[in-house]
Amino acid sequence: MSHYLADDAATIKFGNKLATYIHPGITIHLLGNLGSGKTTLTRGILRGLGYPHAVKSPTYNLVEIYKISELYFYHFDFYRFNDYLEWEEAGFREYFNSDSICVVEWPEKAGDLLQKPDLRCVFSVLDAGRKIEIQACTGTGKQCLAHWKTTSR
């Protein structure tokens, strides 16, 4: 699935929409260059899930944690990730569970410490906007995209 996002607002709106099709237990990887829209999309997802407050980039803390009623939402950014000990010590592995939604910017920096995501979004800068391509990597991911396609006709 590929979409053109003309501006910041379009990225937020797309995140809002994506929020409708995800549920606890899902992991989403966001790939793309610096400034390509990964945090903006996450902001849109969080809005869509009903989180009204500011959403900041987790670049310095590696993770920002949101609790939205019973749901735990973990927003990771591994750009500054140093080594796997950091990962083990922080207990990040436990964050990826059936009660949480995990969104990961720069997953490639964590190498093979991460399990396969359900959805993989790849951003690229295109003209004044962005292109986003979403791929399903698991059966769960495929169900999300199939649901999206059938309801958006």
Binding site for ligand ATP (CB under 6 A): 5, 7-8, 10-11, 32, 34-40, 57, 59, 77, 105, 129-130
The residue at minimum Cβ distance from Mg ion is 39
Cβ nearer to ligand ATP, comparing 85 with 128 = 128
Residues near Mg ion (CB under 5 A), total:
4
Q: How far is CA 106 from CA 37, 50, 56, 114, in A?
A: 12, 25, 16, 11
Binding track over 66-105 against Mg ion, x by CB under 5 A: ---------------------------------------x
**DSSP symbol at 107:** G
* The two structure tokens encoding residue 100: 């949480």
Residue 18, helix vs strand vs coil: helix
Question: Using the rule CB under 5 A, is 39 a contact of Mg ion?
Answer: yes
Report, in angstroms and rounded to the nearest whole number, the Rg of the chain calculated over CA atoms. 15
